[in-house]
Amino acid sequence: MKQYTDQGKQDTRSGYGAGMTELGRTNPNVVALCADLVGSLKIETFIKENPERFFQVGIAEANMMGIAAGLTIGGKIPFASTFANFATGRVYDQIRQSIAYSDKNVKICASHAGLTLGEDGATHQILEDLGMMKMLPGMTVINPCDFNQTKAATIAIAEHHGPVYLRFGRPKVANFTAADQKFEIGKALMLNEGSDVTIIATGHLVWESLIAAERLENQGISVEVINIHTIKPLDDSAILASVKKTGCVVTAEEHNYLGGLGESISRVLATYHPCPQEYVATRDTFGESGTPEQLMEKYGLNNKAIEEAVLRVLKRK
Amino acid sequence: MPNYDNLQSLVTQVRRDILRMVHKVNSGHPGGSLGCTEFFVALYNEIMELKDGFDMDGKNEDVFFLSNGHISPVFYSVLARKGYFPIDELNTFRLIDSRLQGHPTTHEGLPGVRVASGSLGQGMSVAIGAALAKKLNGDDHLVFSLHGDGELQEGQNWEAIMFAAGNKVDNLIATVDRNGQQIDGATEDVLPLGNVAEKFRVFGWDVLEIENGNDLGQIVTGLHEAKSRTGKGKPVCIVMTTEMGHGVDFMMHTHAWHGKAPNDEQLETALAQNPETLGDY
């Protein structure tokens, strides 16, 4: 089992903030918008260094998405950021018409996604955003796994022309990918090679998958772990190469099993290589208040749940 | 001094285009299109500073956004007759494989269109964004936008109206087509808008009113006046009263022609009231 070291827990939203700081210094066309959540999105440094390139829109997310679309006309690269719930469901039609259908180069950057938002409860814990965003034609959908990868992704999407949904979270989690990584949109990352089962994970569940894989390896099970940071476009060939070898899959995501990464993987499998799959995801439910750890335990989204899913899927091979 | 004879000829021809476009496909929105014909003709042929050709960024020229996208017939006709695309292409309005979609879009690459519209209430935010980009680029050209009055019932407009004033977006001229009609009837019956000009004023805009938006002289004067008020710290709003269906007697004084096409006989009557001036497509 390949070893990964937690370089010290950090929140992925701070990775976004660090990426924005760098973009502020390197790309004069990058502008930032925020809807009254500057502190939560960690973009204070960008604002301090580039006050003329920051637009505080207040608690008005629909207007923020429209202004972002307009800023692209004239060559700006807007990064519009707020909580994932307000960056997607609340403004779906604005994104659909003014950004996606109009092919505007807007980066929708969404923090506090999923259950790990914690104590604020289900009103703020969106578990449907990946589904909504991946269904929009032309939208790129990215869910990086840690601080370093979120920073790298933030920098990378500025160079990509077209609308992007970048999803990240609130809590401090293991930071284990390389600080100097080059982020390639649409490229699956092989974290551990194995032959019995493939775990395909995104976001916070990638680290949990590595913990589960280590325990499974100790039980004599050979586990392949793939980090899918880009849910759309999906790296079909990497997925197929792995399942042709292992013959079964566990998908892991902090999202509803309807519409998320798991269903995207199911499409690939059903089309090219049918085989057993188990879903680690929420089961068509809303969340609730609690600590991130309690919620991930209760809703079956931690390393223990992944381990159990692997044992289940192996029996179905 | 504008050549009003030429502008009037264009107005009449555009009205013919609108009627023939919606008649051919038996769908589309003639009422609001006919009501805003003078505005579009004046804006594109007398008011806006435009480069030759079209590029999406619109740097160093004035740009326009149509928020109430359902009045696409008047937009398409004026764009075509300004030279953005071949006039014959008006023949393809709402047909399969056309760039002239039911509601305007950038998706098929139609020159002259910079954002999709049709789902109402989104255009002002986009216009504000484009105006902010002009300021960042040091481009002192203007952003124009048009909005239906019924469309102001969408809450996003008021987010945008608040933002534009609060952020001194003073290179924006937003015009409201106050025709008093929407699909289900008079705006004041469906959901009263009250005093639109006063609402914009208390939100911090500089507001002027055009009493008769179907009078070319009033439109040209009003738009010039609006331009003179830009760059003074406030966004500019024109509340323009128009008659839906203007130029066709049986389409006026009713909301019935908001989204309905004339039949063969009605078309003949309507065209007779707007004799050909510059040549039909």
Total Cβ atoms within 10 A of residue A270? 11
Contact A106, A72 (CB under 8 A): yes
Token pair for B7: 């502008």
Indicate the pLDDT class of residue B221, thresholds 50, 70 and 90. Answer: very high
> What single DSSP character describes residue A191?
E
For B9, what's the count of Cα atoms within 13 Å in the CB-facing half-sphere? 9
Residue A274, number of CB atoms within 10 A of its CB: 10
pLDDT tens across B124-180, in order? Answer: 999 999 999 999 999 999 999 999 999 999 999 999 999 999 999 999 999 999 999
Task: For residue range A52-86, list pLDDT tens digits in order.
Answer: 999 999 999 999 999 999 999 999 999 999 999 99
| DSSP letters spanning chain B | ---HHHHHHHHHHHHHHHHHHHHHHT-S-HHHHHHTHHHHHHIIIII----SS--TT-TTS-EEEESSGGGHHHHHHHHHHHTSS-GGGGGGTTSTT-SS-SS--TTTT-TT--S---STT-HHHHHHHHHHHHHHTT----EEEEEESGGGGSTHHHHHHHHHHHTT-TTEEEEEEE--EETTEEHHHHS----HHHHHHHTT-EEEEES-TT-HHHHHHHHHHHHHTTTSSS-EEEEEE--TTTTSGGGSSSSTTSS----HHHHHHHHHTS--SS---
CB contact under 8 A, A53 and B136: yes
Residue range A266-293: average pLDDT?
98
The CA distance from A99 to B115, in Å, is 8
Q: What is the mean pLDDT of residues A225-243?
A: 98
pLDDT digits (tens, 9 = 90+) for A205-220: 999 999 999 999 999 9
Per residue in A156-182, pLDDT tens?
Answer: 999 999 999 999 999 999 999 999 999
Count of CA atoms in the C-beta half-sphere (13 A) of A103: 10
> B274: which residues sit within 8 A by CB, 6+ positions away?
B12, B15, B16, B19, B247, B248
- Cα A72 to Cα A64: distance, rounded to the nearest angstrom: 13
Q: In the 8-state DSSP scheme, what is residue A100?
A: I
In the residue annotation, A217 being an active-site residue is answered as: no
- Partner residue opposite B159 with nearest CB, options A52, A62, A104: A62
- Which residues on chain A place their C-beta less than 8 Å from a C-beta of chain B? 31, 52-53, 55, 57-58, 60, 62-76, 78, 93-94, 96-98, 101-104
Q: For residue A55, give the nearest of B117, B132, B139 by CB distance.
A: B132
Distance from CA of A52 to the nearest CA of B (A): 8
Residue B271 has pLDDT above 90, yes or no: yes
Q: What is the mean pLDDT of residues A108-118?
A: 98
Over range B47-66, report the average pLDDT.
Answer: 98
| B165 has a chain A CB within 8 A of its CB | no
B161 has a chain A CB within 8 A of its CB: no
CA distance A97 to B119: 7
Q: Which residues contact B83 (CB under 8 A, 6 or more apart)?
A: none
Mean pLDDT of B243-270: 96
Q: Name the DSSP class of A173.
A: E
| A95, closest residue in chain B (CA to CA) | B122
Q: How far is A314 from chain B (nearest CA, A)?
A: 46
For the record, the structure tokens of A204 come out as: 């916070």
Please tell me the number of Cα atoms within 13 Å of B253 on its side-chain side: 2
Q: What is the pLDDT of residue B172?
A: 99
Q: Is B186 exposed, middle or buried (0-12, 13-18, 19+ CB in 10 A)?
A: middle
Which of B105, B123, B132 lies nearest to residue A71, judging by beta carbons? B132
Q: Report the candidate in B56, B225, B204 with the shortest Cα–Cα distance to residue B130.
A: B56
Cβ contact, residue pair B118, A97, below 8 Å:
yes
Q: How far apart are CA B64 and CA B115, in angstroms?
A: 10
pLDDT of residue B1: 80
**Which pLDDT band holds residue B76 (cuts at 50, 70, 90)?**
very high
For residue A95, the model assigns a pLDDT of 98
Average confidence (pLDDT) over A136-143: 98
pTM assigned to the model:
0.97
Which is it for strands A277-282 and B63-66: parallel, antiparallel or unpaired?
unpaired
For residue B13, which amino acid is it? Q
Sign of CA dihedral B190, B194, B200, B203: negative
How far from the centroid of its chain's Cα atoms is residue B116's Cα?
14
pLDDT value for B72: 98
CB atoms within 10 A of CB A167: 31
Of the listed A52, A61, A119, A308, which one is catalytic? Answer: A61
> What amino acid is encoded at A75 in this protein?
G
Contact assignment for A103 to B58 by CB distance below 8 Å: no
Closest Cβ opposite residue A68 in set B59, B65, B129 = B129
